[in-house]
Amino acid sequence: MTREIDFKYCPKCAAPLLKQTPILLICSACDLHFYINPRATNAIILQNSKNQLLLTKRKFDPHAGKYDLPGGFIDINESVEESVIRELKEELNIDMNKDDIEYLGSCTDTYEFKGVGYYTVGMIYKALVKDDIIITPSDDVESTLWVNMNDIPYDDIAFEGVKIFMKSYFSSTT
Ligand SMILES: [Zn+2]
């Protein structure tokens, strides 16, 4: 697997890049400084009044078929809160606003796509929903599953950082 720090050519002038530090490539010709920063993501812990949270089953790679939290990559010119609201609409057809979501904390992960490994940092929110809420999985979500907070299938969670965050969060709240 190639990581961004292994990229060989300058995206500006196509000359060879030189690895300066574990997070910095410098172009041998035009002096472009290419920093390797994490990609920002979000995830949402949706809870109902029955001590359950919602997991999504991933439709596509990486980790197709594994469970995940709703969420995704943050778009350019989008706040984290806006991205949470957008992802809830895209993946689950749920309408929420910023007052409905509460920030919990963040986690780091890696995301491999088409043979390239990216570093990510994920902002995790929570929201309470009505027990009879209607959810329509779409976009990159295959299906959804309500699970009891004491019965989360951690071995089938797609991303390690999300798994660690959930274990810590639910051990402190249950
Ligand atoms: Zn260059």
Q: Are residues 67 and 95 in the same domain?
A: yes
Polymer length of the chain = 174
18 CA → ligand 1 middle, Å: 10
Residue 6 has pLDDT above 80, yes or no: yes
pLDDT at 142: 96
**Domains in the chain: how many in total?**
2
Q: Are residues 75 and 7 in the same domain?
A: no
pLDDT digits (tens, 9 = 90+) for 105-114: 999 999 999 9
Q: Are residues 112 and 26 in the same domain?
A: no
Phi first, then psi, for residue 84 (nearest 5°) are -60, -45
Q: Are residues 86 and 162 in the same domain?
A: yes
23 CA → ligand 1 middle, Å: 17
Q: Are residues 57 and 93 in the same domain?
A: yes
Residue 172 has pLDDT above 90, yes or no: no
Residue 162 has pLDDT above 70, yes or no: yes
113 CA → ligand 1 middle, Å: 25
Residue 69 and residue 111: Cα distance in Å, rounded?
15
8 CA → ligand 1 middle, Å: 11
Q: Are residues 14 and 52 in the same domain?
A: no
Q: Are residues 46 and 18 in the same domain?
A: no
Q: Are residues 12 and 98 in the same domain?
A: no
Q: Are residues 86 and 67 in the same domain?
A: yes
4 band by pLDDT with thresholds 50, 70 and 90: very high
pLDDT digits (tens, 9 = 90+) for 19-72: 999 999 999 999 999 999 999 999 999 999 999 999 999 999 999 999 999 999
Q: Are residues 83 and 6 in the same domain?
A: no
Residue 174 has pLDDT above 80, yes or no: no
Q: Are residues 27 and 75 in the same domain?
A: no
Range with lowest mean pLDDT among 1-5, 158-162, 170-174: 170-174
Tell me the whole-structure pTM to 2 decimals: 0.93
16 CA → ligand 1 middle, Å: 7
| Residue written as token pair 């574990």 | 22
Sign of the torsion angle spanned by Cα atoms 96, 102, 103, 109 = negative
Host domain of residue 14: 2-35
Q: What is the CATH number of the domain that holds 60?
A: 3.90.79.10
Q: Where are the beta strands (DSSP E) in the chain?
A: 2-3, 17-21, 24-27, 33-35, 39-47, 52-58, 67-68, 71-73, 102-113, 116-128, 141-148
Identity of residue 108:
T
